Structure 1
């Protein structure tokens, strides 16, 4: 058994947290070994006029919820992982009905993400939606982002569908969480809406030009990200979970349909730190960031929770873990520098586009940090968005999400034939005039300039997102984001 250096980990945590001192928001780092807290570091405050953050401060866990839901699903024994979703939800359209339970949990189902579908219909992040309306709307989508088992690409859609399927079998996620919380003596809980009362919840903070605003989400919360609790609550949950056989089942990566290995299991991903592949997960919601890493063999967990939108919880956890395990700086992945010229790139056809930035790449409006890999490749360190790229012969080549890609510099189309006019989708409405796209009505009407990618594709910005518009025919357009790639508008 290798030795763990808790003093070094604590020093690393305090070093990273020192910029969060003062009256602003901050975060908590908590390390636990076999049920005993070994590291507690905190900085910042709960909110204006409120006290300092600590191990018992309550945060939203965001997507850290996913592994808890996967655990509850396996405990229920309601569904086998190979069962198609259509057997549990008979009203699903044919495309999502063929996705298996395991694929839905392991980000391999290609299921559209409901939040990003709402964005493509013009819904802002603050607009409230209800579960009873969201589910039948999602069930009617007869398209997928990708063929099931073909790629690992993040989406919350599978978790929302499976939560509904569980409830129909009598297993209500919030009730299962409450039972675990009572058994463990913790305060973790599942919420339906952002406005539901949560005892002790600290406000989430979003940076603005003149200070901070309070984060908010209008969409109904689901098992993809509905939990809240303290750092101590999460550490106690992990201490109880890790010795159980069920942890190995959720942490074991699910291979693709081709048999190719991945780094993502059932709400658990593997993070490379030195020569280790460490199980854990991260999460992000408006004003909150969360992350954890763990070593089930030694009963060690490391939890990071923040109440600030710019808090890199997963990066902080990896930094502290490296110190805990004595990983030298030379063994860590080095940030990519100058690996490709900055700018927009796109595949020869389809909706795949990317923007190269210093040290990162944005793919379909989702940004991922890149690091130096082997043999001239540049890679991501996120199992749910695997990337392996290089720049050669004027193009980005390699793999995205386990699929081969070749992206060329974006080019300007001399003309935009067949786009002018009015378009509609599911009650949403947009209008195109030359290179201007108008969306919404009345005081919500906004205009965006369309940036060409080439070959009948353009980018425009709406509700803070860069959306790809692809001309399919004289009568059809497709809008897409990273997690929702198939919403079609038709000419009025």
Structure 2
């Protein structure tokens, strides 16, 4: 069990939560912060039936992240590839030439919503009943970020067909139960909050409908408790168990599609939202359905997360980023102490290398990684690198992500770029050669 937050921190978190519930006029709101694998603080405000950590609320689009985990489990098994066209696994749709990876990152150009009555307030059926047509391909492939509920309905269908079982059975047995999320279900199981719309000009509420969304369930139908959502936050922080390889979770958080409409820096990975808030990179997902709002965000560098669930259709100010900021300020993480460690390459390979006349430093990082980048105060490209089985290195981020690095005695070969020990070393294999006259005034 995680250590509880300090009483002063609890007061700070409760004050923020109470203000958001009152000012947003949410019939009920539950919230918590996560560290060390579970809820370190939680509270309920408003009309919350039963223990506030065990009341179900609708997750909305957080369901998409659960669906993405199921898809990536198939990928890790070799059953599907991110570059596979959808038609290979779910034939007969107008989006058949769009790839699985594009659908996960919302860059497939699929329509935002499924055809017919708005799926969030109307019962749904199987894929065949949607009546998809060419008009539901609204943008070219990989042209721009365009959030698509329809795309995740199709991904849920892919999961069901490859597993030979309904989507909800797959996510229950492969994701939810292994994570201990036993109170997360596709339909509400008491105790569960009733979804409400709150009148904009009066303090009265209107019940919102609840139904089975059919094939669109994978985009937003799951219900969960605060305790279960806290467990999912711990998963996003790296406590993946046997559900997903930690490297795959890292892959999910790599931005692919940028949401240019968002204030500030906001992007989307593979079923995960990635955003920059107050100088911190946060990952997770928000959720909204008629009658409900939800959120889960984690700060992986700080090792903390925050979650919230409310039964109101709209009107709440963002709570989760503020809870993270409060916790980070009140109880900053004490980082692990530095200890000496052997470098992953000989010491003589580290130090200054030149790309043309530009000096760069190759240095060892914790965890057996290397970093190559310009000297402080100089502009240039930088990346981290991990060793591969064949003795070469591969870029993890930045300009050189995915590119191979080979280390020789007198040069570095990085995706055809040659770094040398001195600027344009004539004895190294510099592309295009070096002028025989050498450097001159």
Same fold (TM over 0.5): yes
In structure 2, C-alpha distance between the alignment counterparts of 1:164 and 1:267, rounded to whole Å:
15
Equivalent residue of 2:193, what SS?
A: coil
Q: Using the alignment, how far apart are the partners of 1:37 and 1:190 within structure 2?
A: 20
1:199 deviation in Å?
A: 3.3
Report what 2:194 is aligned to. 203
Q: Is 2:50–2:191's contact at 8 Å kept on the other side of the alignment?
A: no
Verify: 1:108 aligned to 2:96, yes or no.
no
Q: Matches of 2:169 and 2:203 in 1, distance apart? A: 41
- In structure 2, the partner of 1:265 is 269
Of Structure 1 and Structure 2, the greater strand share is in: 1
Give the distance between the partners of 1:311 and 1:56, measured in 2 at CA.
Answer: 24
Verify: 1:158 aligned to 2:162, yes or no. no
How far has the Cα of 1:188 moved from its partner? 4.1
- Cα offsets for 1:398-451 (capped at 9, x unmatched): xxxxxxxxxxxxxxxxxxxxxxxxxxxxxxxxxxxxxxxxxxxxxxxxxxxxxx
Structure 2 counterparts to residues 384-395 of structure 1, below 5 A: none
Residues 1:213 and 1:270: Cα distance change in structure 2 (over 3 Å): same
The alignment partner of 2:217 has SS state of: coil
Structure 1 residue 146 and structure 2 residue 139: aligned? yes
Residue 327 of structure 2 corresponds to residue 324 of structure 1: yes
In structure 2, the residue matched to 1:289 is 293
Match of 1:92 in 2: 93
Partner of 2:72: 74
Distance in 2, matches of 1:18 and 1:125, equals 28
Consecutive unaligned residues of structure 1, counting only runs of 5 or more, are 328-492
- Aligned mates of 2:58, 2:141 — CA distance in 1: 30
**Structure 1 255/213 Cα, relative in aligned 2: closer, same or farther at 3 Å?**
closer
Distance 1:326 1:55 in 2: 25
Distance 1:226 1:254 in 2: 25
1:288, CA displacement in angstroms? 0.5
Match of 1:248 among 237, 250, 272: 250
In structure 1, the residue matched to 2:311 is 307
Question: Is residue 182 from structure 1 mapped to residue 177 from structure 2 by the alignment?
Answer: yes
Q: For the structure 1 residues 310 and 90, does the alpha-carbon distance in structure 2 shift closer, same or farther, using more than 3 Å as the test?
A: closer
User: What is the DSSP-based 3-state SS (H/G/I as helix, E as strand, rest coil) of the residue aligned with 2:147?
Assistant: coil
User: What is the aligned partner in structure 1 of residue 231 from structure 2?
Assistant: 236
What is residue 63 of structure 1 aligned with on the other side? 61
- TM-score normalized by the length of structure 1: 0.56
Alignment of 1:420-439 (within 5 A): none
Q: Is the 8 A contact 1:27 1:53 kept in 2?
A: no
Indicate if the aligned counterparts of 2:31 and 2:226 stay in contact, CA closer than 8 A.
Answer: yes
Deviates most, 64-73 or 217-226: 217-226
Residue aligned with 1:148, SS: coil
Query: Structure 2: which 5+ runs fail to align?
Result: 239-245, 259-264, 331-441
Whether 1:17 and 2:20 are equivalent positions in the alignment is: no
Q: Return the offset for 1:231.
A: 1.2
Cα–Cα, structure 1 residues 56 and 148, in superposed 2: closer, same or farther, change >3 Å?
Answer: same
Q: Distance in 1 between matches of 2:226 and 2:203?
A: 30
Q: Is the 8 A contact 2:112 2:146 kept in 1?
A: no
TM-score, normalization by structure 2: 0.62
Assess if the C-alpha contact under 8 Å between 1:205 and 1:214 holds in 2. Answer: yes
SS class of match (2:286): strand
Q: Show CA shifts across 1:140-187 (max 9, x none).
A: 335522111111121111111111122111254312322233333332
Flag the 1:18–1:129 CA change in 2: closer, same or farther, 3 A: same
Kept after mapping to 2: 8 A contact 1:29/1:41: yes
Q: Which has the larger radius of gyration?
A: 2
* Offset from partner CA, 1:316-339 (integer Å, 9 cap, x none): 111112222239xxxxxxxxxxxx
1:149/1:239 Cα in 2 relative to 1: closer, same or farther (>3 Å)? Answer: same
2:37 to 31, 35, 38: 35
Take 1:273 and 1:10, find their aligned partners in 2: how far apart are those partners? 22
Post-superposition shift, 1:213?
Answer: 1.4
Matched length: 303
Partner Cα separation in structure 2 for residue 281 and residue 67 of structure 1: 7
Cα RMSD between the aligned structures?
3.0
